[in-house]
Amino acid sequence: MGLFTPTAGWVADEHRMFADAVSRVYADELAPNIEKWIDQGMVDRAFWEKAGAQGIMGGSVPEAYGGAGGGLGFDAIAIYEQGAVGDCGWGYTIQSIVLHYLLTYGSEEQKQRWVPGLVSGERVAAIAMTEPGCGSDLQAVKTTAEKDGNHYRINGSKTFITNGQTADLIVVVAKTDKTAGAKGVSLIVVETDEVEGFRRGRNLKKLGMKANDTSELFFEDVKVPQTNLLGAEEGQGFYQLMRQLPWERLAIAITALGNIDFALAETIRYVQERKAFGKRVMDFQNTRFKLAEMKTKAEVLRAFVNDCIARAEAGTLDAATASMAKYWGTETQNEVMHECLQLFGGYGFMMEYPIARLYADARVQMIYGGTNEIMKELIARSIDV
């Protein structure tokens, strides 16, 4: 089916070539390893390096830092094609998000130091926002970063951190001024192989996305140079987060679309082959109507996602529109997984069929990146002005 709509104005020949190349890499190197990575609870570092060698993570990164110099559309393609092979385990979406924090807010020295290793897959990134008890409320973080000479000392804990077990470069959301509310939040980069006092908790056991390592992180007097602050001054963190969250939320919607396309293809193949009461399951009117409904929802989402990608490429994707994409995309994803699993009958409940995994993987999409309830609140604020 593919990410692109026939009328998607942002798509050029290089995007189609990139999509073809990425889909081949995923078919050869990612899809065959999904079950293995689920069993071990994380993706092999070797795959990160293979993806880097193939240029998958550098499409939107300037050539000066090891990338191809394109726009966000290349990241969108890499994210979609991952979903379209039925995978949610590889944490590339977070890598993309962190890359754009660094490219947007990092100093030249920071970009030269950190970006090439993320593009090549030699380094894995995470962003440590969520804390026990604060969820989507980023203003309520309790992790602190206090000045100590020309360093910061970071203290606090984070939870539900994607890539948490493997990341060696972590953007930490911390309070540099505990009295200033949102204006006291800063983003500080921690290189885990160069600090003391940093500790990873357990690899959390989850309902779905089991190949995606997700961890608790602990910071106990972690000492990092003040030059690891993202931005020219302290207190910019909340603004930086709000400016970058639209891309994160669109990326979640793109994943939803990829998974929907994979699930529909798997379900169509199954109902064409499976027989009941002497005829194909596909030949029952209920099956055909359900598939018609799901295909329509997929195409409506595809058109909206392509419009949002065009806005992201142009730098005009606003918070409310990205929230709509995240909310609508993930709700649609969960509806489609529910209906697809039903068409598999009892086999849909068996983990040997990918639809069971996709059904479980879909649920968290309505929670992370800001819950869908938060998305509705953000959309409502854009109406009530």
191 counts as catalytic? no
At position 198, the amino acid (one-letter code) is F
- Reference 193, options 211, 229, 173, 166; nearest CA is 166
Which residue among 131, 234, 248, 313 is the active-site one?
Answer: 248
Measured from the Cβ of residue 34, the count of other Cβ atoms closer than 10 Å reads 20
Contact partners, residue 279, CB within 8 Å, separation at least 6: none
Q: Please give the DSSP secondary-structure letter assigned to residue 296.
A: H
DSSP β-ladder status, 151-162 and 169-175: unpaired
Q: From CA 93, how far away is CA 86, in angstroms rounded?
A: 15
At position 328, the amino acid (one-letter code) is W
DSSP β-ladder status, 275-276 and 214-225: unpaired
Q: How far is CA 311 from CA 123, 163, 306, 382, in A?
A: 30, 28, 9, 17
Structure-token pair, residue 120: 């090549």
Beta strands per DSSP E along the chain: 125-128, 144-148, 151-162, 169-175, 185-191, 198-203, 214-225, 275-276, 279-280
Structure-token pair, residue 242: 């709000």
Which amino acids are annotated catalytic? 248
